[in-house]
A and B are shown apart, each in its own frame.
Chain A
Amino acid sequence: DAGVTQSPTHLIKTRGQQVTLRCSPISGHKSVSWYQQVLGQGPQFIFQYYEKEERGRGNFPDRFSARQFPNYSSELNVNALLLGDSALYLCASSRDWDSYNEQFFGPGTRLTVL
Chain B
Amino acid sequence: GQQVMQIPQYQHVQEGEDFTTYCNSSTTLSNIQWYKQRPGGHPVFLIQLVKSGEVKKQKRLTFQFGEAKKNSSLHITATQTTDVGTYFCSKGSSNTGKLIFGQGTTLQVKP
Contact = CB atoms under 8 A, between A and B. Distances in A.
Interface of A: 31, 33, 41-45, 48, 50, 55-56, 58, 90, 92, 94, 96-108
Interface of B: 6, 30-31, 33, 35, 41-45, 48, 50, 88, 90, 92-104
Contacts of B33: 99, 102-103
Contacts of A94: 97
Contacts of A101: 97
16 contacts: A31-B97, A42-B88, A42-B104, A43-B43, A43-B88, A43-B101, A45-B98, A45-B99, A48-B97, A56-B98, A90-B43, A99-B92, A100-B48, A102-B33, A102-B45, A107-B42
Contacts of B88: 42-43
A58 to B, nearest CB: 7
A92 B37 CA distance: 14
Given A42-B103, A105-B35, 20 more contacts: A31-B97, A33-B98, A42-B104, A43-B43, A43-B88, A43-B99, A45-B98, A92-B43, A94-B97, A97-B97, A99-B31, A99-B96, A99-B98, A100-B31, A100-B48, A100-B92, A103-B43, A103-B45, A105-B43, A107-B41
B92 A44 contact: no
Contact of B48 (A48, A50, A102, A107): A102
A45 B94 CA distance: 14
A99 B97 contact: yes
A45 B3 CA distance: 12
B93 A108 contact: no
A100 B96 CA distance: 10
The 4 closest A-B pairs by CB, nearest first: A99-B92, A42-B101, A56-B96, A105-B42
Nearest to B92: A99
A44 B97 contact: no
